[in-house]
Amino acid sequence: MISSFNTGTKSAQIAHKIEDRILTKVYLAGDPLPSQQELADEFHASSRSVREAFKHLEAKGLVEISQGRRATVKSNNLDQFVASLSTSLISNHNTDKKLLLDLMQVRTTVEVSASRELSRSDLRGVLVKALDNLTSKMEALLPRLQAGESEAFVEWNSHDFTFHKTLIDSNDNVILTAIYENLSPMLYASMDKISNTFIELEKSTREHRYLVEALQNGQTDLAVALTLVHLTAIRGKLEAANV
């Protein structure tokens, strides 16, 4: 379990600076960190503040502390920390349904944020082109979906998953995105149990196209509204389903 940490303290400020250096690979995995005294001098802090910062970084899985040796960088990412948070999230929920709905809310938050930022991002052209290609593939599947081909449903779901993953990955909230991706298989496994008619998939495909067009045109408010409407409908189906 991750302990609470006062982000306003000197030790928290030191931990944040060192964490940033680790994540940006100024310090690489396996590298020894500067000594406690060197860091204390750099940050004009006490050795105790540096030790507390190290403990926080150790809890996040970024630093390894050994008695009588310098602390070393354990990892250049937060995968272990995210996995710990995800485990805690799962264990603190009474029912799978509650967890799934909470996770759907996280997905909505991340995708709405991504839609808002992407519509005015410098990388909009590249990302929107990828979303456009995926939507075109979904549109091309509609005749096969109408004919009831089971493989077409599998392909459509795959394109839909990649579409939303592309959108989510464009979000700049690294922690929130990582937490969602760590838990998303549980959500998608449950959503796979929800049956969709051809009419529903056709409607969903149109919604994807409308969103792509809004993003292409830089229509921020429309892109956000379309994302919210689309995901709210999915949440409604999840609430009504027996998962």
Alpha carbon 198 to chain centroid distance? 30
What is the CB neighbour count within 10 angstroms for residue 211? 27
Q: What pLDDT sits at residue 1?
A: 36
> pLDDT per residue over 31-50, tens digit each?
999 999 999 999 999 999 99
Query: Could you tell me the pLDDT band of residue 3, with boundaries at 50, 70 and 90?
Result: very low
More confident residue, 68 or 45: 45
Query: CA angle, corner 131, sides to 129 and 134, nearest 5?
Result: 110
10 Cβ contact list (under 8 Å, min separation 6): 43, 45, 46, 49
Alpha helix positions (H), the chain: 10-23, 36-43, 47-59, 79-91, 96-118, 124-140, 142-146, 150-169, 174-191, 198-216, 220-240
Average pLDDT value for residue range 48-57: 90
Q: For Cα atoms 152, 147, 143, give the angle at the middle one, nearest 5 degrees.
A: 70
- What is the Cα–Cα distance from 201 to 221, expressed in whole angstroms? 24
Q: Indicate whether 190 pLDDT > 80.
A: no
Query: Which tokens hold the place of 35?
Result: 């000594």
Q: Is the Cβ–Cβ distance between 124 and 218 less than 8 Å?
A: yes
What percent of the chain has pLDDT above 70?
84
pLDDT value of position 148: 92
Which pair of tokens denotes residue 185? 């298989």
Mean pLDDT (whole number) for 122-137 = 91
Q: What is the pLDDT of residue 214?
A: 93
Lowest pLDDT segment from 11-25, 64-78, 171-185: 171-185
The more confident residue out of 155 and 76 is 155
**CA separation for the pair 199, 124 (Å, rounded):** 30
Q: For residue 175, is it left (φ>0), alpha (ψ between -120 and 50) or beta?
A: alpha
On whether the CB atoms of residues 227 and 112 are closer than 8 A, the answer is: yes
Predicted confidence (pLDDT) at residue 24 exceeds the cutoff of 80: yes
pLDDT band at 96 (very low <50, low <70, confident <90, very high): low
Domains of the chain with CATH codes: 10-73 (1.10.10.10), 95-240 (1.20.120.530)
| Cα distance between residue 1 and residue 235, in whole Å | 29
